[in-house]
């Protein structure tokens, strides 16, 4: 099974490019971020014509997450427990979207699906904007809540093949940041607190693509010919639990998708899974222990 994540930066603008890529690179499951539309506005027909089912979670022209899959998707979840909201509490807002315990509207930034035994999440982590912006604290609170949920999921099922995929808006190491506009200690994406939050995820989960492609970026800003100058950053990741990681046989960043007319500023990040390895691991766990 080939699984990818891609911040498509408006699916209605780039539906042709996305569907063409899915077919050309033989993608089985795609997690999308920043779809920028409601489910009723999503160009589902183009995906269905190519053999994909779609589930989408979007509330307006901002944010939004989705999955396209050749396989049946179940247990569809549009938020994780404790996910904070952002903005101002509005009376009656809950009729349009969810609210957090403080009554703040939850944005369309998380979508979970189950495919076979796999539990997959498409995540669009808040940007943060600037270190003195309320969005920065929101970003950190959002990550902390997600991490608490990740630990709860794995405590309930230590062998769960879980993947948290998407645009994390964090460059975890100096090697992941090649855009001089972002200054450690002064900019989001590279601040000490953001990197510390990401590191707490990778204490438990594994960046399944990095062992197969240690270097390379997944985002290049549209301005100042940054793609042509390779002034990018690595901020899109597939983080897998032990069971998920053990089944990964390959991983790569499809940087060529930043080329051509009308690209997203992000590119797909992809991993291959051998599902037989998952089944073999479960059979081994279930087998009785023999003593000599």
Which residues of the chain have a pLDDT value below 70?
90-97, 281-292
Half-sphere exposure of 76 (CA within 13 A, CB side): 13
Q: What is the pLDDT of residue 91?
A: 63
Q: What is the pLDDT of residue 279?
A: 77
Question: What stretches of the chain adopt beta strand conformation (E)?
Answer: 2-7, 29-33, 53-57, 65-69, 74-77, 110-115, 118-124, 162-167, 206-207, 236-240, 248-253, 269-273
Structure tokens at 144: 């902390």
Round to whole Å and give the CA distance between 154 and 172.
Answer: 23
Q: What is the pLDDT of residue 100?
A: 86
How large is the greatest C-alpha to C-alpha distance in the chain, in angstroms? Answer: 68
Q: What is the pLDDT of residue 270?
A: 99
Q: What is the pLDDT of residue 285?
A: 60
Q: What is the pLDDT of residue 90?
A: 64
Round to whole Å and give the CA distance between 134 and 239.
Answer: 27
Q: What is the pLDDT of residue 291?
A: 39
Nearest to 181 by CA among 145, 148, 223: 223
Question: What stretches of 86-149 adopt beta strand conformation (E)?
Answer: 110-115, 118-124
Nearest to 269 by CA among 4, 71, 44, 67: 4
pTM of the model: 0.94
Question: How many C-beta atoms surround the C-beta of residue 3 within 10 A?
Answer: 26
193: helix, coil or strand? helix
Q: What is the pLDDT of residue 278?
A: 86
List helix spans (H) across the chain.
11-24, 44-49, 134-156, 192-202, 242-246, 275-286
For residue 218, the 8-state DSSP code is S
CB 7 within 8 A of CB 124: yes
């Amino acid at each position: 099974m080939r699984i990818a994540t891609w911040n498509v930066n408006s699916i209605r603008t780039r539906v042709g490019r996305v569907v063409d890529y899915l077919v050309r690179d033989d993608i089985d499951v795609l997690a999308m971020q920043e779809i920028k539309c409601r489910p009723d506005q999503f160009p589902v027909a183009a995906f269905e014509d190519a053999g994909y089912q779609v589930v989408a979670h979007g509330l307006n022209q901002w944010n939004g997450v989705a999955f396209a899959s050749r396989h049946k998707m179940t247990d569809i979840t549009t938020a994780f427990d404790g996910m904070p909201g952002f903005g101002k509490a509005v009376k009656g807002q809950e009729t349009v979207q969810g609210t957090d315990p403080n009554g703040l509207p939850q944005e369309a930034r998380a979508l979970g699906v189950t495919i076979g035994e796999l539990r997959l999440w498409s995540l669009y982590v808040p940007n943060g904007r600037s270190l003195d912006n309320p969005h920065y604290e929101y970003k950190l609170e959002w990550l902390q809540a997600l991490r608490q949920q990740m630990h709860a999921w794995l405590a309930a099922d230590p062998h769960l093949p879980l993947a948290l995929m998407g645009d994390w808006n964090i460059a975890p190491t100096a090697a992941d940041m090649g855009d001089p506009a972002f200054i450690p200690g002064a900019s989001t994406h590279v601040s000490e607190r953001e990197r510390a939050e990401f590191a707490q995820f990778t204490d438990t989960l594994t960046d399944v693509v990095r062992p197969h492609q240690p270097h390379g970026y997944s985002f290049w800003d549209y301005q100042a010919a940054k793609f042509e100058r390779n002034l990018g950053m690595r901020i899109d990741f597939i983080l897998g639990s032990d069971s998920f990681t053990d089944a990964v046989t390959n991983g790569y960043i499809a940087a060529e998708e930043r080329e051509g007319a009308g690209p997203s500023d992000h590119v797909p990040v992809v991993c291959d899974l051998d599902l037989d390895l998952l089944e073999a691991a479960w059979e081994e766990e279930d087998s009785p222990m023999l003593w000599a």
